[in-house]
Structure 1
Amino acid sequence: MTDEEIAVKLEGHDHEIGSLKHRMSEQEEQNKTIQELVLSVKELALNMQAMLREQSDQGERLAKLESEPAERWSSMKKTVFNTVVGAMAGAVATGLIYIMALYTK
């Protein structure tokens, strides 16, 4: 092989090496971008998990708030029923005492 042929081959290799270096730089940039994307997706997943927990907690609090009026209504019905039954029992007891008082004279 002559010096010229060697020089041409070396120049070709230099050109290929330059092209490979350029491609490698692009690959490193892409790898860096993908790594940043992976970290962003991981952070997003953690935030979504936290939001899911918060939404679950809010659901429990909302259910409690929604059931409160029903509990009050139920309590009020019990109170009214107990008051009516107590008044009727008191009236019956008073009537019986009055009747017994009339017959004991």
Structure 2
Amino acid sequence: MENEEIAVKITALEHEAKSAKHRIDDLEVQNQAIQDLALSVKELTINMGNMLEEQRRQGKDIDKLKAEPAEQWSSMKRTIFNTILGAMAGAVATGLIYAMAQYIK
């Protein structure tokens, strides 16, 4: 091989090396972008999980708020029933006492 052929091959190899270096640089940039994207997806997944948990908690709170008026109404009905029943029992007891008092005289 002559010096001229060696020089041509060295020039070709230098050109290929520069081209390969540019491709490697591009791949490094792409690899970093993929890593950044993967981290963003991971963070998004964590945030979505937190949001889901928060929505579940809010759903439970809403269910409690919905049930509260029904519980109050039930309690009020129970109180009214007990009051009426107590008044009737008191009236019956008073009547019996009055009747017994009339009988004793």
Aligned residues: 105
In the alignment, which residue of structure 2 is the partner of 1:93? 93
Per-residue CA deviations over 1:40-79 (Å, capped at 9, x if unaligned) read 1111111112111211111111111111111101100100
SS of alignment partner, residue 29 of structure 2? helix
Structure 2: any 5+ residue segments left out of the alignment? none
Coordinate RMSD, CA, aligned: 0.9
Bigger Cα displacement from structure 2, 47-56 vs 24-33: 47-56
Structure 1: any 5+ residue segments left out of the alignment? none
In the alignment, which residue of structure 2 is the partner of 1:74? 74
Normalization by structure 2: what TM-score?
Answer: 0.95
Identity of paired residues, percent? 62
Give the Cα separation in 1 of the matches to 2:59 and 2:80: 32
In the alignment, which residue of structure 1 is the partner of 2:56? 56
Paired residues for 1:1-105 under 5 Å: 1-105=1-105
| AA matched with 1:57 | R
Give the Cα separation in 2 of the matches to 1:75 and 1:2: 108
Shift of 1:103: 1.1
Moved over 3 A (4+): none
Bigger Cα displacement from structure 2, 58-67 vs 70-79: 58-67
Normalization by structure 1: what TM-score?
Answer: 0.95
SS of alignment partner, residue 80 of structure 1? helix
Give the Cα separation in 2 of the matches to 1:32 and 1:102: 103
